[in-house]
Amino acid sequence: MIYTFVAYDLEKNLGRAYNECMDIVPNDDDWVFFLDHDATFVQPDWYKNLNKIIEQNPEYDLFTCVMNRCGSRYQLVGGVDKNNHDIRYHREIGKKLLELPDHEAVVDITNNQPLSGVVIIAKKKTWKAIGGAKDGFLGVDNDIHVKCRKHGMKVGLIKNLYVYHWYRADANETGGLKPLI
């Protein structure tokens, strides 16, 4: 089973929110998909694809995916216009990425710089083994990746799972978009 959460905490303690969500999950072999509050699924069959990836890659303990905007360069899809906020555009990118052959869909990023946690996909057993997420907001994602590495756990990047991420696309970066109200 894969549980999906958009974890958030009014006190901006993302680590605590992640841990509280993980506490709800009943089985150690269940997976949790954490999605940032400013990210959007653009692939209609994301859940089916994720199930397939997990089944075909049992050696991985934690996953993340690719996107249009984030702080980690290796998670970005090359050639994507980061200032294009047309969801149809991003759905087409997601559709194209699904054409990747199965053997190219996941790459090992265990020893890369820590992941950008727009998407964190973890097995509850993994979460327990690393001691969960640290309290706080900034660096929680990085800490999870580093803990996995320290515990000898394998972290994978799913290259055919794509999400649209708003990430700082405010008026200054988008050429003056103004609120409607």
Closest by CA to 165, choosing from 72, 102, 45, 60, is 72
The DSSP result for 82-119, as a single string, is TT---HHHHHHHHHHHTTS-GGGSEEE-TTSSPPPTTE
pLDDT at 91: 97
Residue 51 in tokens = 């199930």
pLDDT at 36: 94
Give the bridge partners for 119, in sequence order: 35
pLDDT at 55: 97
Low-confidence ranges of the chain (pLDDT < 50): 171, 174-176
pLDDT at 48: 95
pLDDT in tens, 48-81: 999 999 999 999 999 999 999 998 999 999 999 9
* 2-165 CATH pick, 1.10.10.10, 3.90.550.10, 3.40.50.1000, 3.40.640.10: 3.90.550.10
pLDDT at 168: 66
The ranges assigned to domains in the chain are: 2-165
